[in-house]
Amino acid sequence: MKAYETFERYDGKVRECCNYAVRSSKSFIENGEPSKRQPGGKGEFILREQLKEDLQGFCDEVDEVNFYAKQKAYITSNLLTFIFMIATAALCILAILINKYFILAALVTSLLTLLAVFGIFGGTSKSVEDINIFARRKSVNEPLARVIFEANLDAPYKRNISRGSAALLKFFAILGALLYVAYCVVMCLIDYGTLNFNGQEYLQYVAYGLPIFVFFPLILSRTVSIGSSFPGVADNLLGAYAACGAMRYLSEQDLRLENTEVCVLLTSSKEAKNAGAKAFVKDFDADLDAMDTTVLCFDSIYDPDSLNVLSKGRKVAKLMDEAAANAGVLVTDHNPKYHKGDVKVYDKAGLAAAQISSLPDEVPHFYRNEADDADLLNPDAVHAVEGAIKLALEAAYAKDATFAPAAPDPVPAEA
């Protein structure tokens, strides 16, 4: 059976679920503190409670799963980069003014700077408790497979500068770390007579110019507001309600798949290096290994004309192609490589996974900034959510069909 065969007014009923997703998103933007939807924020808590209440009406089981995330890892990395770099700057100057052996200590701190600028020490930040929501709708028979409709609850941290400016600051911070390492290595070689060249006595004065790079990691650490978020309508408010809207259709029509349980997973702390998704695959490792599981990630759904599917694996790609054909949904070939969604976590864990999104090849104007707001809750969003829900439902039914018993061979007619 195909999803569109489950109800004679299938299109109209799916549209009702799409309207639910857009109306609910609009209500949250108006009343749910969208500027506090960062990981662990009050807005995220409000959204999670609203969606949990909805899912309790759609599903057989709804569980809250606690985990810990290092939400300030980005700030910690930049602060430590600043601390190590300023220590390196001071030691390099002391090597000129007091004793050349200070350069050995400077070499150590410069290497620590290089590690810090690439986020190695982000894990030293404090762990904060957060919550995922995992809801199940059981199958008619003992389940042989599972399809999970996944989305993240949190929105991007509010930043005081543009993505381009942040990237430029990051580039100069990395450049500064590399220059300090190179300077310390060369000075050590000179001091111990291993390296000699004309004008080497003047190289030491470079140490007076390099401290300019100290300011870049300091500025970076002050550009992210841990206490607030962007509105995040496309990223990923609509995706969360779209995932629940697909489950709502099954519930309101009292539909259950024969051998496949259908689940909704709402993760948190995507902005903390996908901590919610990582915690899920770790906590449910045995359960996921025991059953054929496919994860469909709803992420940044707002435009039907750029709807695309990023499939991780040949098997799931074939499943999504079949789903698109059955749904009658035109899927574009956009590949938003700039977007780092949860789908990569599930793929790395060995799960069949696909991302359904509207993100085009180039970064849209509202991506991860203030413009990702209520203006996106328009008729186009309804059509985009409709396409996403139909894709997900058809994928679930196509998956279940693979476990249907084969038709018996026809009995030959008697002569």
Mean pLDDT in order along the chain per 10 residues (415 residues): 92 95 96 92 95 96 93 85 95 92 94 92 84 96 95 92 86 95 92 75 88 91 85 95 96 95 96 93 88 95 95 90 95 92 93 95 93 95 96 96 67 54
Whether the Cβ atoms of residue 230 and residue 158 lie closer than 8 Å to each other: yes
For the whole model, what pTM was predicted?
A: 0.87
Q: Scanning the structure block, which residue is given the tokens 């629940």?
A: 244
Cα gap 306→172, rounded to integer Å: 35
Whether the Cβ atoms of residue 73 and residue 272 lie closer than 8 Å to each other: yes
Whether the Cβ atoms of residue 178 and residue 115 lie closer than 8 Å to each other: no
Q: What confidence score (pLDDT) does residue 415 get?
A: 45
Q: What confidence score (pLDDT) does residue 265 get?
A: 98
Cα gap 132→228, rounded to integer Å: 20
End-to-end Cα distance, the chain: 35
Could you tell me how far CA 96 lies from the centroid of its own chain?
47
* CB atoms near residue 168 (< 10 Å): 13
